[in-house]
Amino acid sequence: MTRRIIGGAALTAAIVGGAGVLLAMSAQHGAQPNDAVHNPHASAPNDAVHNPHDAATDNPMGSMGPMLVGGLTKSPGCLGAHEATLDDGRHAILAWFKDRDAVMAWYMNGIHQIYMGQVPAPAAGWPTPLADVPKDTPVMVVATFGFGGEPINAGRHPFSQLSFELYAPLPGGASWNGRLAPDGFAIPGMRDHTGG
Q: How far is CA 163 from the centre of its chain?
A: 8
* Predicted pLDDT of residue 118: 73
| 3-39 pLDDT per residue, tens | 444 443 333 333 333 333 322 333 333 333 332 333 3
Domains defined along the chain, listed by start: 25-39+53-120+134-157 (3.30.70.100)
Checking if the pLDDT of 90 tops 70, the result is yes
Q: How far apart are CA 37 and CA 147, in angstroms?
A: 14
pLDDT grade for 111, boundaries at 50, 70 and 90: confident
Is a pLDDT exceeding 80 seen at residue 53? no
Geometric angle at alpha carbon 94, from 91 and 98, rounded to 5°: 165
Quick one: what percent of the chain has pLDDT higher than 90? 43
**Taking Cα atoms as reference points, which of 85, 82, 62, 63 lies closest to residue 72?**
82
**88 near 34, Cβ under 8 Å?**
yes
Confidence of residue 154 (pLDDT cuts 50, 70, 90): low
